[in-house]
Amino acid sequence: MRVLIAADMEGISGVVHWDHVQPGHFEYARFRELMTEEVNAAIDGALDGGATSVVVTDGHRDGRNILVEKLHAPARLNSGSPAPLSMVEGVQNADRVFFIGYHARANTPDAILCHTWTDQVRGVWLNDREVGEIGLNAAVCGSFGARVALITGDRAAVQEAIDLLGPIESVVVKSANGRMSAECLPVEENRAAIRHAAAHAMVRQVSPLIIGTPLRLRVELTRPDQIDRALRLPGSKRSGGVVIEWTGNDVVSVYYAFRAIAGLAGS
């Protein structure tokens, strides 16, 4: 049983502000360490549950947050950016996927640092189902037959994952009462809970997320000039002042198209 641990940072214990996840800010060093240890808890749990290999993919910003020298063996680390499959690079060779430190999609109330890829993306739909990073990444996982079996993050992120994927293993590490305000649970307890949940996630019955094709992607941006730029993507079309559409026959192509649109939109 091969495990991919796809890690982000906004849903790590204690994170409530962009400063916490911003390289260069003096507080960032603390939180990258917390991120590394939360991933370690998931590695240990995966091994407890019988994992034969564990790969970790660092999915926050440029993928240079996890401290490789502190990462528990035998896990390997996908670090740096851009990787072909970005936040879920490595899923090509995984059976189960754990989302660690994830956050809710753009415009979710009471969700720490909710967003979808960049702050310019207001909404994303796959065949009319609204998704955020959880849904986009889970769809890529599903297209390779890999099952997302664990989510950790704030209460809103966990709820978003369960609404989409069904009752997977989950650990709520904080409960937000705003976009930048939360009640944070004890870090040590969160790590113990993540290890426990990761072991359970190795055996729990879960299904891969399968999205029908052709797959219609819709992305709502913030300003019309961002759509003007994003329309350079071949095959895209405007469907409203700040909405762009692109249709593809496989999930990975749609994932590439989404990242191209987000990139072209700029800031």
> Which residue, 49 or 59, is less far from Zn ion as judged by CB?
59
For residue 105, how many other CB atoms are within 10 A of its CB? Answer: 24
CB of 72 to Zn ion, least distance (A): 22
Task: Name which of 31 and 246 has its Cβ closer to Zn ion.
Answer: 31
Instruction: Name the residue number minimizing CB distance to Zn ion.
Output: 60
8 binds Zn ion (CB under 5 A): yes
Contact 102, 59 (CB under 8 A): no
The two tokens of residue 117 are: 């890829």
Position among 60, 96, 147, 195 found at the interface with Zn ion (CB under 5 A): 60
The window from 5-13, 155-163, 186-194, 259-267 that contacts Zn ion (CB under 5 A) reads 5-13
| Region from 59-67, 117-125, 175-183, 248-256 binding Zn ion, contact rule CB under 5 A | 59-67
In this chain, which stretch among 52-60, 143-151, 162-170, 204-212 interacts with Zn ion, using CB under 5 A? 52-60
Report the alpha-carbon distance of residue 141 to residue 95 in Å, rounded.
9
Is the CB of 14 or the CB of 200 nearer to Zn ion? 14
Tell how far CA 81 is from the center of its chain: 15
Give the shortest CB-116-to-Zn ion separation in angstroms.
11
Q: Which two three-digit tokens encode residue 95? A: 């059976």
Counting other chains too, the contacts that 42-45 makes at CB distance below 8 Å and 24 or more residues apart are 42/5, 42/98, 42/100, 42/150, 42/152, 42/194, 42/195, 42/198, 43/5, 43/71, 43/72, 43/75, 43/198, 44/72, 44/195, 44/198, 45/194, 45/195, 45/196, 45/197, 45/198, 45/199, 45/201, 45/202
Nearer to Zn ion, 9 or 134 (CB): 9
Size of the site for Zn ion (CB under 5 A): 4
Stretch that binds Zn ion, among 2-10, 24-32, 45-53, 188-196 (CB under 5 A): 2-10
Confirm whether 115 is a catalytic residue: yes
**Distant-in-sequence, close-in-space partners of 261: CB < 8 Å, separation ≥ 6:** 219, 221, 230, 233, 236, 244, 246
Binding mask 120-159 for Zn ion (x = CB under 5 A): ----------------------------------------
- Known catalytic residues are 115
Binding site for Zn ion (CB under 5 A): 8-10, 60
